Amino acid sequence: MREPGAPRVEVGDGEDLVPDGAESLVRAAADEPERAAEAALRPRRLEEFVGQRVVRDQLSLVLQAALGRGRAPDHVLLSGPPGLGKTTLAMIIAAELGASLRVTSGPAIQHAGDLAAVLSSLEEGEVLFIDEIHRLARPAEELLYVAMEDFRVDVVVGKGAGASAIPLSLPPFTVVGATTRAGLLPAPLRDRFGFTGHLDFYADDELERVLVRSAGLLDVPLEAAAAAEIASRSRGTPRIANRLLRRVRDWAQVRGDGTLSLAAARSALDVYEVDVRGLDRLDRAVLDALCRRFGGGPVGLTTLAVAVGEEPETVETVAEPFLVREGLVGRTARGRVALPPAWEHLGLPVPAGSDTLFG
């Protein structure tokens, strides 16, 4: 049994890992069946991982080179919005290396001592996955730099003036860090990663491939037009594509004939209030507050978050990246602004000058 306050570390394939991401706060990702469903669809090997060609190529080189040398590869940092495949890639890295994976997260490590305990129990070649690494406390972060660079932890014994640090050397291992907010990582920590992969939103045709793969695994008949429809409403995000696929499957099973047709996809997505651009309730709440309550902005992130009843971090990491990428919302020095397509999307007249607010 683990001690109270000890860090949550799991050994194995990490499938029972509890996501702490901002995503889980709002998008029902955290409940048990949802997590199991997600785990079942996770690609296990790099060649099954759809899209992200650049990151995949780069990572493949890093891994092959390490395997060729018979050494642990450089530490890897994965950044990008929720649901794009960071955890999946961390698991793939361990699988490709034939190494076991240990899983923990920034918020789970409260004290530097917790991290020291994890590090000193690592075996040669293991992969340590630290999710939400931007949320590590400062002392733990400092301990981590040294461990990553010198493969050493200083174990402090005693207290006060009589305390001394006994250096403990560690076997070679690889840290895989994941973050939705690379900008929050202090430079010294960022610099310890030999390779950084940034995951970006997926193109619709990539999401279609994710869906076709998932439909095969779920053994449901997915028509091509339905795959295209679901992909176009998935906010560039495989997790959302897979989730919508399961909702369309439910609809087809209960109200249709079991086939995931275009009509079934449209009806199901309407039931779940996913609109034609893929915006969901939170996205629309943000746009609605921006346009109707704040006259198009500019408005500060915190004020906007309060208006939609969410944490600023959730609005910033979950809703905003996609709204910005879609050209619906702009970020300015004075705050967030609604761009003309936001007004159009809500069916409101575009106020004169709303396109010149940006920049």
Q: Which residues are catalytic?
A: 86-87, 131, 180, 239
> Mask of contacts with ligand ATP, 3-42, x by CB under 6 A?
----------------x-x-x--------------x--xx
Q: Which does 43 bind (CB under 5 to 8 A by kind): Mg ion, ligand ATP, none?
A: ligand ATP
Instruction: Pick between residue 238 and residue 330 the one whose CB is nearest to Mg ion.
Output: 238
Q: Is 50 in the site for ligand ATP (CB under 6 A)?
A: yes
- Residues with Cβ < 8 Å from 77, sequence gap 6 or more? 133, 176, 177, 178, 179, 182, 185, 190, 193, 195, 196, 197
Least distance to ligand ATP, CB of residue 82, Å: 3
Q: Is 320 in the site for ligand ATP (CB under 6 A)?
A: no
- Residues with Cβ < 8 Å from 98, sequence gap 6 or more? none
Q: Is 87 in the site for ligand ATP (CB under 6 A)?
A: yes
Least distance to ligand ATP, CB of residue 155, Å: 31
Contact 287, 342 (CB under 8 A): yes
Rounded Cα distance, 187 and 19, in Å: 25
Contact 117, 6 (CB under 8 A): yes
Which of 79, 232, 242, 354 forms a contact with ligand ATP (CB under 6 A)?
242
Least distance to ligand ATP, CB of residue 26, Å: 11
Q: Which does 236 bind (CB under 5 to 8 A by kind): Mg ion, ligand ATP, none?
A: none
Give the torsion sign (CA, 83, 178, 90, 116). Answer: negative
Show the tokens assigned to 244.
Answer: 């919508």
Which of 14, 17, 49, 193 forms a contact with ligand ATP (CB under 6 A)?
49
Q: Is 87 in the site for Mg ion (CB under 5 A)?
A: yes
273: helix, coil or strand? coil
Residue carrying the six token digits 């990428």: 325
Least distance to ligand ATP, CB of residue 130, Å: 12
Cis peptide before 167 (omega within 30 of 0): no
Residues that bind Mg ion (CB under 5 A): 86-87
